[in-house]
A and B are shown apart, each in its own frame.
Chain A
């Protein structure tokens, strides 16, 4: 009996505490951006966008993330945010499936939910993607083809054969080549690198041995071009080959400088962070997102809407000349 009373009292206290925060929160709209993991360069860059949004619009927009890349910790963190009474959540899910229940509860409580890098997420108002993966792959291929002069052999690399994103990039690239550059030929299978630079290096060596005439290579994992670049550099083939792929300046920088890697593509997380927060505000204000709409952000000038998923064309192409602009 005594325990029951204590429990009820505790519940009452919590309830009032919740109300109190909620009342506080009414003063200022609060948007929590919850990322996969705190403290790594990628999400530090995203935080810049979130802070920029807060500054531009005078809202309480902030970013949090778990200390470890763990879906459970991320779910717990979202529970915390719900308890604090935030108005909107912008989430980059570690594992979309694992977050469905907690995001569902958030929406039931009237919290606006926006996701990023989770096109299959059910419990979300909108999921915003920087680009359609096939388009991004085609964009890389366009640069590769230009570099190769529209002819010659090329090979493709994926971090893992089971990675949907990597496969979509590579499939988009191959489709683009087949449609536009009939004089180029894909040699070999998709080469699997297990997201490891050393493996990518060894695979690149193998490709160079098996196909001595290969002129181009396209990577998918951020470490792919680093491994390929090392193999190219060791063989002194910087001039003779074209290497493009998804990566970041912090990983591929040294090979961009030497020309072993010719260009990399990625999306700018600061813009994505800004876009998520902007989208959250639009949903809270009851604004509709329509196909072809201009979000007023670089790469999101004419977004495509498919169900709940919004696609931009927000890729960034970086080479030796503009790499200094992206210090992450």
Chain B
């Protein structure tokens, strides 16, 4: 429409999601002027850390043409095992060592997915559905099933490290924890890998056509293996942040979140057939889901309607572009 905008701007998922976010914010501000405040912003940013890291991970898998539902189980496994291990062996470990441990455990579990998917060539959904149950069952049976609130002190201290904190003029408290920097780091790193490295472009290529990728000499197996290990590592990071910020290692948490995460990614324009997905879109999808999950009270929608609202958004967000594409195809024919 306008020459300044990129081609197909108005039919993109990103645009649609951004418009819905803006509309939602306007409605929320109208129904409660307090909504538009630093407090709301920091609360929402904080709520998007874990969801955001997991969504970036899920997006990477979708781009590569697979689907991973086991990352929440990896996250909780890595977080809980790290906590139990640290408490038993060296409770005074600095937080970054604890984080590295959790990331390492996550990467190892991701490698198990990678072996089945890249090594044996099994379907990704089947493998990750299986490992989801295996990781979770193993955790609850052999590692433990008790909620631990006496975390290693460094983990507790981490959750108290703030980038900024203060009180607004209206007297409302706001704070943004340093954990948010982890999301920023993950976003920058993943963007760099996806767009600036041959590995990242290979991930897109595999998602576009595995057969073509093989024919031009891309090492499909190694690339897929990397994807699942990287996703495992990100899940480990998200898990330990979840535990530290909630000040509780809860082996029952996170699992069940995977569909919300995938929903956020799909809302942001990634396609389940592979090859498509942008970080901007994914972050917008996360923003919308977090906004809906955390602001329905303000808008006056009962909690019972929360899942209905999210479901409708997904239908709208994924259905509308698909319908537009179909209509465009019909016109072209």
Contact = CB atoms under 8 A, between A and B. Distances in A.
A and B touching (C-beta < 8 Å)?
yes
B247 A195 contact: no
Contact of A189 (B32, B34, B256, B303): B303
A250 interface: yes
Contacts of A37: 145
B185 to A, nearest CB: 21
B34 A67 contact: no
Contacts of A101: none
Nearest to B249: A197
A189 B175 contact: no
A207 B297 CA distance: 7
B204 to A, nearest CB: 33
B239 to A, nearest CB: 11
Contact of B297 (A67, A189, A195, A254): A189
Interface residues of A, number: 40
A161 B305 CA distance: 11
Given A41-B146, A192-B303, A197 B248 contact: yes
Contacts of A195: 252
Interface in B168-209: 172-173, 175
B248 A202 contact: no
Nearest to B296: A206
Interface stretch (A108-116, A119-127, A226-234): A226-234
A197 B253 contact: yes
A202 B293 contact: yes
B15 interface: no
Contact of B302 (A40, A189, A210, A251): A189
A226 B303 CA distance: 20
A298 B130 CA distance: 48
B295 interface: yes
B286 to A, nearest CB: 14
B246 A201 contact: yes
Contacts of B37: 209
Interface string A207-249: 1011010000000001100110010001111000000000000
B242 A250 contact: no
B112 interface: no
Nearest to A67: B141
Given A40-B145, A212-B172, A189 B304 contact: yes
B245 A212 contact: no
Contacts of B253: 196-198
A191 interface: yes
Given A189-B303, A230-B246, A234-B175, A254 B146 contact: no
Given A161-B304, A236-B173, A223 B39 contact: no
Nearest to B177: A234
Contacts of B145: 37, 39-40, 69
Contacts of B141: 67-68
Interface string A1-20: 00000000000000000000
Contacts of A201: 246
Nearest to A194: B256
B47 interface: yes
B302 A223 contact: no
B231 to A, nearest CB: 21
Contact of B294 (A40, A205, A223, A237): A205
A191 B173 contact: no
B307 to A, nearest CB: 9
A265 interface: no
A209 B28 CA distance: 12
Contact of B250 (A69, A196, A234): A196
Most chain A CB neighbours (cut-off 10 Å) among B32, B35, B146, B245: B146
Given A68-B140, A210-B297, A227 B303 contact: no
A322 B295 CA distance: 37
Given A198-B253, A201-B246, A202-B294, A223 B147 contact: yes
A227 B149 CA distance: 11
Contact of B245 (A198, A209, A226, A251): A198
B157 to A, nearest CB: 13
Interface of B: 32, 34-35, 37, 39-40, 43, 47, 50, 137, 140-141, 145-147, 149-150, 172-173, 175, 242, 245-248, 250, 252-254, 256, 293-295, 297-298, 302-304, 306
Given A189-B303, A250-B150, 14 more contacts: A41-B146, A191-B303, A197-B247, A197-B248, A197-B253, A198-B253, A205-B43, A206-B294, A210-B34, A212-B34, A223-B147, A226-B248, A234-B175, A250-B146
Interface of A: 37, 39-41, 67-69, 161, 188-192, 194-198, 201-202, 205-207, 209-210, 212, 222-223, 226-227, 230, 234-237, 250-254
17 contacts: A40-B146, A41-B146, A67-B141, A69-B145, A189-B303, A189-B304, A191-B297, A192-B306, A197-B253, A202-B293, A210-B298, A212-B172, A223-B250, A226-B246, A226-B247, A230-B246, A250-B146
